[in-house]
A and B are shown apart, each in its own frame.
Chain A
Amino acid sequence: MVIGVAAATFLLLHAIPGDPARQVLGLHASAAAIAALRHRWGLDSSLASQFGRYIGDVVTLKLGDSYVYGLPVTTIIAQRIGETAGLVAIATVIAVAITLPLAAIAASHRDRAADHAVRGVSVIGLGMPSFWLGIVLIEVFAVHLRLLPVGGSGSGLLGHLEALLLPSLTAALAIVPLLVRSLRVGMLDVLGADFVAAERANGLGELRVLVWHVARNALIPTLTLLGLNIAFLIGSTVIVENVFALNGLGSLLVSSISSRDFPMVQAITLVLAVSVVAINLATDLAAARLDPRIRLR
């Protein structure tokens, strides 16, 4: 799959018009200067041979130097990956922290006011684009209440965490509606199961039944969905980082595409693709741990 992503990225980048040499050299650049730079980057050889060389480089993990910065792409990515990883991690925690109580309330109050409220808010949430939600959150928490920074990366560990709070919340809110709905349905299924009735009959408290037995069983499909949505979260960092001026991989990807910095775009896409695969693997393993019926063979 990773090689597939690499190939698709390469082909798409080369299919769109726009010359990286022209972007670096500017409007006054002579044809000779542009040709010389293209030669240095190997862009004057045939697409097939460039592709062959690129796939070879990917397999041997030679990711090259950025056209724009002249530095190894790995160096630049290493400076930025922490920001994006932090954003995704905190967003995941926030998403789960919001999802669990909301789903539990909805499921335990099925078809009553609380359930309708949770489901209604979810539908509204689903329709709110991150770039807009981000601005609203900045207006409220940063500009008016002045509780949090409007953007940027902050300094020091505490400053960093503070700066990631609003962007993480923005990213999390984009996936919460799906997670709530999934977990609610899962919980309703489990609530109707015989063993729940048996536990209630045994005199177990409703809260204990809900949290310990129902949630645990309902969590498995939600976990898989969470894995898929973390992939979505990683994708949404492209927008969220831009709105909050965070210097992560998402904003770097956007600027690298604009400047046609091929090695940079290809490397970032690879890193993101590998992360998505790794996270899906991790959630599958976690699901296997939660449910003895799922076992790796």
Chain B
Amino acid sequence: MSIEPDHRLTRRRLLRQGALGSAFLAAGPLLGSAPARAAVARPSAAITKGGTLKFARSVAPTQLDPANSIIAGDVYTLDKIFEPLFITSPAGELTPWLAESYTQSSDHLTWTFNLRPGVKFSDGTALSASDVVFSLKREAANVDGPLGFLDSAIKSVKASGTSRVVITLAEPWAPFLSDISVFANAIIPANFGGRSEKAFFAKPVGTGPFVLDSFTPDSNLALLPNPHYWQPGKPYLGGVQFNYVADDNQRVLQIQSGAADIIDSVPPANVAALKGVSGITVELFPAWEVDLLVFNEALPYFADRHVRRAITHAINREALVAATSFGTAKPGGSFFPPSLQYYDPNTPVLNYSLSSAKAELAQSKYPHGFATKLLISGGVEKWSEFAQIIQQSLAPLNIKVTIESLDHAAFESTFQAYNYDMFIDYAINDISDPDEMASFEVDYKGSGVKSYWSSYNNPAAISLVHQAQKEFDSAKRADLYAQIQTIVAGDAPYVPLDYPPYIYATGAKVHGFAVNPGGAYRLENVWLS
């Protein structure tokens, strides 16, 4: 799960906006069987090259150092310039990228990566194993960085010749390939190509399809094609212009008027109308994201499992999604979203039932209800709609809910100080492996944040999370994660409210645009007719 603020959007924010109440299209039980989201496909003749893609985004880049990045504006800009050894495809699958292949030792401790031949940085120098060693060591040492924790299993990184890299792990770590594919582990030239760190990131050099042309803080950023890109003939675009457009209406108007070729975070309320505009395509991409109602188990009411179960039963998630997402989101069940690997569709979810809710509450220490507060981030219509629906849903249980709405930064500081009764926020997975979400939401100590600030602490579930981290057999991992999802569904430390998708709108000229479930979109396949 990553992080964020209001306009200084982090990835989480992007998700939130993209997903203001949204949904999931086609759900496959396991990642492998999840239908790949086809790129925006229009009947077309041959690919044409050139033209500048005008992309209006709700997020703005602030800087381009992968080691310092977590906000959406940074992450989804620098990934056009720098590339990691593996990437996650739009279908959510790990795909060899700068590494062409890899092998691992039978004890899972030594991983050898063979670099793709013929890869060059945008200044024309060839990619070498020393660049990979430098980049991965830099991120692994970046323990205080936003995603430094992902590399904690790495013990050493060594070059073997110029085209092979050997990584030794401190312990077997099943999510390792997913961790290596995160943008923070992107490859930069060794020693910043001989420049200072600051000078390098002001005019960065990477292996990605694009190079930085110009950057105006909090406003716009322009990219040009990398003439040395390793995929022949790509990128097709002659340039990319990212414009920061914070206002939802303004973005929608820009796509309607042709001022923008692509917009992100289409408000769900506008989806139907935009679909009716000829030449505009609205695309919903499944996301590794789930909106949660979180209980503070440090409080006596919510330490009572029956209370949490009663509240879960009392919330009609189908109706909530129908009322708020305009048909874009899917109602919540498991705390894993359906797009995530090892999601179990057979998780025994506590379904909506007022009689079950009343029966659970009757068994609790608070059979006659109580008064509590619900904290939300203000200014986002979706959260206030959710809060009101939850408030009304709990009234029949005589649980009186007061809604507290704070500006985003204040909201985050408040729940992160454990100073809340209940709060609503979204949780996302940054990598293709579900370990991140499982650890962050279930591992009381390992998460560093008491299981997503809920203080949920179930030793049986935590032990399963640890086992899954060291299990390399995918059938066994699927079973472990199914058990975790079952335990969490029964304990109800939080209510998974819905699974929102990423919503983008593209103009008639745009071809080949696709977003992966982590929210990243690669642009080397995009072309304009």
Set of chain B residues within 8 Å of A153, measured between Cβ atoms: 219
Per-residue B-contact encoding for A135-155, CB less than 8 Å = 1, 0 else = 100110011001001111100
Interface size, chain B (Cβ < 8 Å): 50
CB of B258, distance to nearest CB on chain A (Å) = 9
Set of chain A residues within 8 Å of B410, measured between Cβ atoms: 16-18
Interchain CB contact under 8 A, B409 and A149: no
Interchain CB contact under 8 A, B3 and A150: no
Set of chain A residues within 8 Å of B449, measured between Cβ atoms: 27
| A245–B263 CA distance with the chains assembled, in angstroms | 13
Contact with B407, one of A151, A255, A258 (Cβ below 8 angstroms): A258
Interchain CB contact under 8 A, A252 and B256: no
Contact with B3, one of A26, A33, A71, A244 (Cβ below 8 angstroms): A26
Interchain CB contact under 8 A, B259 and A76: no
Set of chain A residues within 8 Å of B5, measured between Cβ atoms: 23, 258-260
CB of A84, distance to nearest CB on chain B (Å) = 13
Given the known inter-chain contacts A150-B254, A258-B5, please indicate yes or no for A17 contacting B217, CB distance below 8 A.
no
Contact with B2, one of A27, A68, A146, A152 (Cβ below 8 angstroms): A27
Contact with B220, one of A18, A19, A247 (Cβ below 8 angstroms): A247
Interchain CB contact under 8 A, A29 and B1: no
Main secondary structure of the interface of B (DSSP, over half): loop
- Whether a CB of chain B sits under 8 angstroms from the CB of A280 is no
20 chain-A/chain-B pairs, Cβ below 8 angstroms = A16-B407, A18-B408, A22-B409, A23-B409, A23-B412, A27-B449, A30-B144, A33-B145, A68-B8, A68-B217, A71-B217, A80-B218, A80-B219, A135-B249, A151-B254, A245-B56, A245-B247, A247-B220, A255-B218, A259-B7
Interface size, chain A (Cβ < 8 Å): 47
Query: Chain A: which residue is nearest B419 at the CB level?
Result: A17
Query: Chain A: which residue is nearest B143 at the CB level?
Result: A30
Interchain CB contact under 8 A, A22 and B7: no
| A260–B411 CA distance with the chains assembled, in angstroms | 13
Which residue of B4, B250, B413 has the most chain A CB atoms within 10 A of its CB atom?
A: B250
Interchain CB contact under 8 A, B412 and A142: no
Per-residue A-contact encoding for B217-232, CB less than 8 Å = 1, 0 else = 1111000000000000
CB of B125, distance to nearest CB on chain A (Å) = 27
Set of chain B residues within 8 Å of A142, measured between Cβ atoms: 253, 257
Set of chain B residues within 8 Å of A33, measured between Cβ atoms: 144-145
Tell me the A62-87 residues at the B interface (CB within 8 Å): 66, 68-71, 76, 79-80
Interchain CB contact under 8 A, B144 and A29: yes
- Whether a CB of chain B sits under 8 angstroms from the CB of A198 is no
- Whether a CB of chain A sits under 8 angstroms from the CB of B464 is no
- Whether a CB of chain B sits under 8 angstroms from the CB of A261 is yes
Set of chain A residues within 8 Å of B416, measured between Cβ atoms: 22, 27
Interchain CB contact under 8 A, A28 and B218: no
Set of chain B residues within 8 Å of A29, measured between Cβ atoms: 3, 144, 146
| A247–B56 CA distance with the chains assembled, in angstroms | 13
